[in-house]
A = this chain, B = another copy of it.
């Protein structure tokens, strides 16, 4: 029920996702009265789906605290509950990000070794695609959070991008060791000594699109600003191109011949192609679609979730965390601290 064009956009997205992943089965959480008539018009989705009636809806304005208190019968909560009880492999939502994060944290809990979940996405670069995290779940981070983000980003890049040894960079305002804020410098010092992590060092804003590293790690404030600045700049470029191509007869002729090439560029930068941000660090797969997404974008978010399941993302990240921070056996009666040991 989440997102600007739900529930139809979600069902159409499911329809598109089934073409690439015919093995998918959907549990649709939402208002049965709204879902059933739509589903009756989409035979492939209908055959792959079961409806689970949820009387309540968490809107875009619902505060996370209110979602926790009063959202027990909401479509979002019931969908997350299904992941928690094992009846679903993942949840994909285009709803309120803050509420989704809050509910997912309470219901699924963070993995051992992870203090705070992060939101990650992948982005186009000059060398292919890279992962960027955190995108806004944690606006203030200490060095330990950043190190944990690096570990989660590493596992995410392996599972979604298929990179065997992802190169990890820490976003900073310069590449010299002395640059930046304390938390970033301390995180860099620790990542240099983290086994299994291929740490490149500091990267700057322009390294994101250059593809200098496979995973760009940063706090949620800077990550959100970087992601949205990149989106805004791509839109500006398209805006200038449109203006230029309608400006003269020569340019219009050029557009006629170049339309195919221009469409390919547009497609490579299409934000819908990169729709599907992952809430990392939870005991379950939670993928967030952009709220303003259309069906094509939503299908890509479903595709990200499918990739994560097929590639055993949760097992990978658990193995990686265990390798880096093996659980310590404390003396009898002394519980070991999985985070700081």
Any B CB within 8 A of the CB of A26? no
Contact A205 B234 (CB under 8 A): no
Q: Determine which of B208, B231, B245, B257 lies in contact with A251 in the assembled complex, contact meaning CB atoms within 8 Å.
A: B257
Known: A244-B262, A258-B245, A265-B241. A236 touches B124 (CB 8 A): yes
Q: Determine which of B206, B218, B227, B236 lies in contact with A126 in the assembled complex, contact meaning CB atoms within 8 Å.
A: B236
Residue numbers in B under 8 Å from A210 (CB-CB): 232, 235-236
Residue numbers in B under 8 Å from A257 (CB-CB): 250-251, 253-254, 257-258
Contact A208 B232 (CB under 8 A): yes
- The tally of residues in A whose CB lies under 8 Å from a CB in B reads 59
Any B CB within 8 A of the CB of A204? yes
Q: Determine which of B180, B204, B258, B264 lies in contact with A139 in the assembled complex, contact meaning CB atoms within 8 Å.
A: B180
Residue numbers in B under 8 Å from A245 (CB-CB): 258, 261
In the docked arrangement, what's the CA distance between A224 and B208, Å?
A: 13
Question: Can you list, as one digit per residue, whether each of A257-281 has a CB less than 8 Å from chain B (1) or not (0)?
Answer: 1111110110011000000000000
Q: Quick one: closest B residue to A207, CB to CB?
A: B232
In the docked arrangement, what's the CA distance between A334 and B127, Å?
A: 63
Residue with the greatest number of chain B CB neighbours at <10 A, chosen from A174, A205, A208, A236: A236
Within 8 A of B (CB), among A49-81: none
Minimum distance in angstroms from A277 CB to a CB of chain B: 14
In the docked arrangement, what's the CA distance between A315 and B245, Å?
A: 43
Contact A254 B261 (CB under 8 A): yes
Contact A236 B173 (CB under 8 A): no
In the docked arrangement, what's the CA distance between A233 and B237, Å?
A: 9
In the docked arrangement, what's the CA distance between A171 and B228, Å?
A: 11
In the docked arrangement, what's the CA distance between A261 and B239, Å?
A: 13
Contact B229 A206 (CB under 8 A): yes
Question: Can you list, as one digit per residue, whether each of A208-234 has a CB less than 8 Å from chain B (1) or not (0)?
Answer: 111000000010111011111111111
Residue with the greatest number of chain B CB neighbours at <10 A, chosen from A225, A234, A239, A262: A225
In the docked arrangement, what's the CA distance between A222 and B218, Å?
A: 11
Contact A265 B237 (CB under 8 A): yes
Any B CB within 8 A of the CB of A136? yes
Contact B225 A209 (CB under 8 A): no
- Given A205-B226, A207-B228, A222-B225, 20 extra CB contacts under 8 A: A124-B236, A205-B229, A206-B228, A206-B232, A208-B229, A209-B236, A210-B232, A222-B222, A233-B237, A237-B265, A240-B265, A244-B258, A244-B262, A244-B265, A245-B261, A247-B261, A248-B261, A254-B254, A254-B255, A254-B256
Listed by A's residue number, 6 A-B pairs whose Cβ atoms lie within 8 Å are A173-B221, A205-B232, A208-B232, A209-B236, A233-B234, A254-B259
Which 10 A-B residue pairs are closest in the complex by CB-CB distance? A254-B258, A205-B228, A254-B257, A206-B232, A251-B261, A205-B229, A209-B232, A244-B261, A209-B236, A233-B233
